[in-house]
Amino acid sequence: MVQCFARIPKAVLAVLALSLPGTGLAQEDFYKGKNITLVIGDPPGGGADTYARLFMQHLPRFLPGQPAAIVQNMPGASSVVAANFAYKTAPKDGTLLVMPQAAAVFARMFGNQSAAYEPDEFQWIGNLDQATGTCSAWKGSGLTSFEDLLNKPILLAAVAPSGVASEYPRALNALYGTRIKVIHGYVGTGNIVIAMQNGEIQGSCAFMVSALKSAFRTHYENGNLTPVLQAARRDPELKGVPHILDFARNDEEREVMRLISDRDVMARSIAFPPGVPITRVALMRRAFDSVMKDAAFLEGAAKANLPILPNTGAEIEALVREMIKAPASVLARARAALEFGATENVDLTSLAGAVTKASADSIELKGADGAAKSVKLSAGATSILLAGAAGAIDQLKVGMNCTLRYGADNVAQVVTCR
C-alpha cells in the first residue's frame, strides 16, 4: 500500500486527503483563531508590497476558520533574506507564506551561495501576475533607447547584486556589449526613483510594468519614467519597446538570456516553505484560486491599477521544474554572464554638498552640516554626470552642487552635479 501511494503525485494525495471525512473540520480547527503571515522580500511602498497587502486583505474569507492576516516586510539581498527566513526559521505548519523576488528564488542555481534553498523546495501556492520587467529611464537623463546602452556609458541603479535590477544590466554587458555601470546599495525602488529625480543615476531595471502602473503611476503616465527595454512576458501595451531577446545573435545566446529573464514571469508568486502538510498546501491553493476570481479582490486591483494575470500553484511548480532543467552549457554561460566581480562595490555611502576642492584625483564636498569630506577620484572607476550628461573629472569645479556615492576604499563610484 505504501508503494502504491508513493507513485501518486502529492497534489492528488492532498485532494484525496481533503475529501476524507473529518478532514475539513480539522483544517478549520487549525486556522481558527490563528494569524497567517505573508513575508515580502521587498520594502514597503513598491509593487510587491501593494500586491501582497491587497491579496492578504481578501485571503482570510476563503480559508476555513478565517484567520487574521498579517503582512511583514523583510527586505535584504533582493529578498534572499526573506527566502532564507522562510526556508530555515519560519514555522512549517501553514501559518506563514513568503513572496520572494523571482531572482531570489533561483539565486543558488545562479551561484549565490548565501541562498540556503533550492527553487523546487518551496511549495508554490500561485502567482498574482505574469510579470513584464523593464529597464526604465528618467526623462532628461540622456537614456532614451537601447542604442544608448550600446553607445555610451550609462548609470543604472540596483538594490543588490542578487536582484534583476543588477542582473539584467550585467547580462546585457556580457552578452550584448552594452556599456552599463550598475550602482548598488539603494533601498527599494522608491529610493531609486528619488535618486533618478536627483540626477544621481539615469535609470534602472527594477521596474515591472505592474509597478509602473501602480506605485509609480504618476511618473509613468506623465512621461518622467519611460521603459526602454522589456523582459520576461512581452507586454502588448509596450508597443515599440524592444524585448531583451530581440538582440540575441544566435540560438544559444537567446536561451541564455531567456534563462536569465524568464524568471520575472513568476515575480508575484507566493509559496509555503518546505514541510507544510500537503492537505494545507491544497487548501491554500484552492483559497488562492478563489481570491483570483473574487469580484471584490478584482475591483480592488483595478482601483490600484494592478494587473492580475495569475498562475496556479501547479503552473508555477512546472515553470520552476522547467527552469532548473536548463542544459549545463546554457546555465554555465548564464552564470558567467552574472558573475559578480570583486571590484564592484555593493555597500556605498552617499554624500551631497558644495564642492570646496577639486583635483585630478580627489574631490571635497561640504555638506549641509558644515562638515567637509574628501573622496578619491579614479578615471577608471569614477563615473561623472553633469546635468544628466557624461562628464570628465577635469570638469568638476569649486562651487558646484554635487552628489556622490563612494565605497569602503573611499573611491567615488559616481559623481553627479547639476
Query: Domain boundary residue among 246, 263, 280?
Result: 263
- The answer to whether 180 and 156 are in contact (CB under 8 A) is yes
Q: At what angle do helices 10-18 and 23-31 cross, to 10 degrees?
A: 90
233: Cα within 13 Å, side-chain hemisphere: 18
The CA distance from 297 to 280, in Å, is 22
207 and 277 within one domain: no
73 and 36 within one domain: yes
Strand partners, 401: 354
The CA distance from 56 to 61, in Å, is 10
255 and 271 within one domain: no
- The answer to whether 265 and 130 are in contact (CB under 8 A) is yes
364 and 283 within one domain: no
271 and 124 within one domain: yes
Domain harbouring 218, CATH code: 3.40.190.10
- Which residues contact residue 236 at a Cβ distance below 8 angstroms, ignoring those fewer than 6 apart? none
Condensed to tens digits (0 to 9), the pLDDT of residues 393-418 reads 999 999 999 888 787 789 887 788 87
> Is 334 part of any domain?
no
142 and 47 within one domain: no
> Is 110 part of any domain?
yes
382 and 235 within one domain: no
The helix or strand, by DSSP H or E, that contains position 28, with its residue range, turns out to be helix 23-31
Condensed to tens digits (0 to 9), the pLDDT of residues 68-90 reads 999 999 998 889 999 999 999 99
> Is 23 part of any domain?
yes
DSSP for 208-272, please give it.
EHHHHHTTTHHHHHTTSEEEEEEEESPPTT-TTPPBGGGG--SHHHHHHHHHHHGGGGGTTEEEE
108 and 8 within one domain: yes
- The answer to whether 24 and 64 are in contact (CB under 8 A) is yes
Domain harbouring 377, CATH code: 2.40.50.140
pLDDT confidence of residue 10: 53
What is the percentage of the chain residues whose pLDDT exceeds 70? 91
Query: Quick check: helix, strand or coil at residue 390?
Result: strand
> Is 338 part of any domain?
no
**Residue found under cell 555593493:** 346
> Is 332 part of any domain?
no
The pTM for the full model equals 0.73
145 and 241 within one domain: yes
Condensed to tens digits (0 to 9), the pLDDT of residues 27-65 reads 557 899 999 999 999 888 888 899 999 999 999 999 999
> Is 7 part of any domain?
yes
Residue 18 has pLDDT above 70, yes or no: no
98 versus 250: the higher-pLDDT residue is 98
Return the minimum-mean-pLDDT range out of 151-155, 221-225, 287-291, 300-304.
Answer: 151-155
Measured in whole angstroms, the distance separating CA 57 from the mean position of its chain's CA atoms is 23
**What cell was used for 190?**
522608491
140 and 259 within one domain: yes
407 and 354 within one domain: yes
> Is 341 part of any domain?
no
Query: Domain boundary residue among 245, 263, 281?
Result: 263
Query: Domain boundary residue among 216, 246, 263?
Result: 263
Residue 279 has pLDDT above 60, yes or no: yes
Q: What's the chain's average pLDDT? A: 88
287 and 210 within one domain: no
State how many domains the chain has.
3
Query: Quick check: helix, strand or coil at residue 32?
Result: coil
The helix or strand, by DSSP H or E, that contains position 322, with its residue range, turns out to be helix 313-324
> Is 337 part of any domain?
no
Structural domain for 393, as ranges = 349-417
